[in-house]
Structure 1
Amino acid sequence: MGVVASVAELGVALRKARKHLGLTQAELALAAGVGVRFLVELEHGKPSVRLALVLRVIDALGGELDLSGLPGEDSGHG
């Protein structure tokens, strides 16, 4: 996907991935353990979604969250 700079861009990326996998919102919500309403709001870029649930959706799509470019990331833990 590349760099995601906003909640709206994240929603678009997740919707594209879901459709690419041929999943309905209800199917993905069930696989991720989230509600359909949550998934609809996430795909539409609602900024107040819960990160833990977003991570479940990403995992259910077979993806992972990869942070890069953060200060100190090359120095290991701490």
Structure 2
Amino acid sequence: MDDDFDPHDGVRRRRTAKRRRTPTRISGKAVARRHDEKRQRNPLLLVVTHDDFGLVALARRRQLKLKQADVAQKVGVGRQWIGALEARKPGLELSLVLRTLDALGVDIMICPRDPAPAWTLPLTAQACARLRQRDANLQRRAPSLQTPSV
């Protein structure tokens, strides 16, 4: 803050910095409605961040017309924890998130991406080389353990 002297009235006033407006958040109902629309179009959802788990939990709980307290009792956590999940707070324990989604009847399927990310290719090549080396060492040590070729 800077002091500013107004020559007309002879009073020194403080200039205040303009406050920035925080971006408006979308209400929970709007988020759940959007999520429900996506769900109706495509039953499989891609979960990329922790936010997505919260959106899924919120939309499914509302679809089942359950209260947070009901879900919390079923999972064995407090209502505030369910609220934190639905508010997409980071740092929630994964096992509790999975237990909550299971209680809401949400199945999770993990699928590898094809092709693999580029950063994994050198690591994959190193791993294959190590496996070939290990197999070669095993064959040298015990040639009788080799499988007969047909």
Band of TM-score, shorter chain: 0.7 to 0.9
- Number of equivalenced pairs: 71
User: Which residue among 59, 72, 75 is the counterpart of 1:29?
Assistant: 72
TM-score by length of 1: 0.82
Asked whether 1:12 is paired with 2:55, we answer yes
Q: Please tell me whether Structure 1 or Structure 2 has the larger radius of gyration of its CA atoms.
A: 2
Q: Where do residues 39-50 of structure 1 align in structure 2 (5 Å cutoff)?
A: 39-50=82-93
Distance 1:11 1:39 in 2: 9
Q: Which amino acid aligns with 1:68?
A: C
Gaps of 5+ in 1: 72-78
Q: Which runs of 4+ in 1 moved over 4 A?
A: none
CA contact (8 A) 1:25 1:36 kept: yes
Deviations 1:36-77 (A, max 9, x none): 111111111111000111111011101222111166xxxxxx
Report which structure shows greater RCO (CA 8 Å, sep ≥6). 1
User: Which residue among 112, 115, 132 is the counterpart of 1:69?
Assistant: 112
Distance 1:47 1:65 in 2: 19
Distance 1:31 1:7 in 2: 22
**Alignment RMSD:** 1.4
Gaps of 5+ in 2: 1-43, 117-150
TM-score by length of 2: 0.44
Aligned to 1:75: none
Aligned to 2:23: none
